[in-house]
Amino acid sequence: MPRAKVSDSVELEYEFIGDAGAPTIALVMGFSMQMIAWDVSFCEQIASRGFRVLRFDNRDVGLSTKLSRLGVPDMMRVMSGDRSAAVYRIEDMADDLAALLASLGVEGAHVAGASMGGFIVQETAIRHPERLRSVTSIMSSTGDRSVGYPRPEALGVLMRPPPADRAEVADRAVSLWRTIGSPGFPFDEERVRARALAAWDRGVDPAGVARQMAAILTQRDRTADLGRVRIPAAVIHGGADPLIHVSGGEATARAIPDARLTIVPGMGHDFAEGAWPAIIEAIVENARRAS
């Protein structure tokens, strides 16, 4: 797959799926997750609706640049709310996305982000509105700490030390996704294991994951600035999300003018295949509103 230079220090690995002449929908994945977490079949279903899908590895995961020179953040300072302890911020990742679109010659993209990816696309809509045609925020929140809070058991499993080797990674993934996944849909253990092993083989950097976590924990409250977003917006959230409570999605939809909210019953903090039709329909319908 190709890589695009988005700044002096960052290159992002990316892939297009679909007709090169079709409008682009860029998919932005969440914390520690690689672009392969956007299932190829999911991407192909969007592409079949008349779009070209762009998926990519965020900085510090997969085959994109690992910012090892920045070191490991002081997580005690991060947890205390010291924004200066984060070696980069969600705003920087939004700038990555805008620069990626520019480097690929995409004049105006529809963007959809999940979890941390939702933070990124919201920030991109605020900082780089000229680059976007529509924005979809999935299982995400506004940065306001009073909404989108996690259940203790969900946060606990997410904060465990990373797996030590390939033999451990699949079992740890199953434990994670059974905890934060969708109780209303079948759990596909085989897919979870295969994806975890594929991600390990592409490249996992625990220090990079810590840098992303610091960016999340020190993110700003975007509520007021989201009120200035003037492109079509959709918000999708699972009604049973244990990691980012549905109140985060509801707050996002209230903050963005004319945003359309879709709450998927039984959906947790994952992309259970049974929830795909509702998610894809909301993304596509929002993109078509922009047309």
Q: What is the pLDDT of residue 47?
A: 98
Q: What is the pLDDT of residue 81?
A: 83
Q: What is the pLDDT of residue 227?
A: 98
> In which band, very low, low, confident or very high, does the pLDDT at 165 lie, cut at 50, 70 and 90?
confident
Q: What is the pLDDT of residue 160?
A: 86
d(CA 275, CA 146): 27
Mean pLDDT on 104-133: 97
Contact 126, 111 (CB under 8 A): no
d(CA 268, CA 228): 29
> In which band, very low, low, confident or very high, does the pLDDT at 167 lie, cut at 50, 70 and 90?
confident
> In which band, very low, low, confident or very high, does the pLDDT at 14 lie, cut at 50, 70 and 90?
very high
Per-residue pLDDT reduced to its tens digit, 241-283: 999 999 999 999 999 999 999 999 999 999 999 999 999 999 9
b/e for 38-65, b at 16 or more Cβ within 10 A?
beeebbebbbebebbbbbbbbbbbbbbb
The overall longest dimension of the chain from CA atoms, in Å, is 48
Q: If DSSP codes are grouped into helix, strand and coil, which group holds residue 54?
A: strand
Is the model's pLDDT at 172 over the cut of 80? yes
Per-residue pLDDT reduced to its tens digit, 37-48: 999 999 999 999
Mean pLDDT on 200-216: 95
Global pTM value? 0.97
Across the chain, mean pLDDT equals 96
Q: Which long-range contacts (CB under 8 A, 24 or more apart) does 262-265 make?
A: 262/234, 262/235, 262/236, 262/237, 263/236, 263/237, 263/238, 263/239, 264/236, 264/237, 264/238, 264/239, 265/184, 265/239, 265/240
Per-residue pLDDT reduced to its tens digit, 50-59: 999 999 999 9
Is the model's pLDDT at 1 over the cut of 80? no
> In which band, very low, low, confident or very high, does the pLDDT at 190 lie, cut at 50, 70 and 90?
very high
Q: Domains in the chain, start-ordered, CATH in brackets?
A: 3-290 (3.40.50.1820)
Q: If DSSP codes are grouped into helix, strand and coil, which group holds residue 235?
A: strand
What lies within 8 Å, CB to CB, of 67 at 6+ separation is 9, 10, 59, 60, 87, 88, 208, 211
Per-residue pLDDT reduced to its tens digit, 61-97: 999 999 999 999 999 999 888 999 999 999 999 999 9
Q: What is the pLDDT of residue 162?
A: 83
For the record, the structure tokens of 244 come out as 């980012």
Q: What is the pLDDT of residue 210?
A: 95
Is the model's pLDDT at 28 over the cut of 80? yes
Contact 159, 49 (CB under 8 A): no
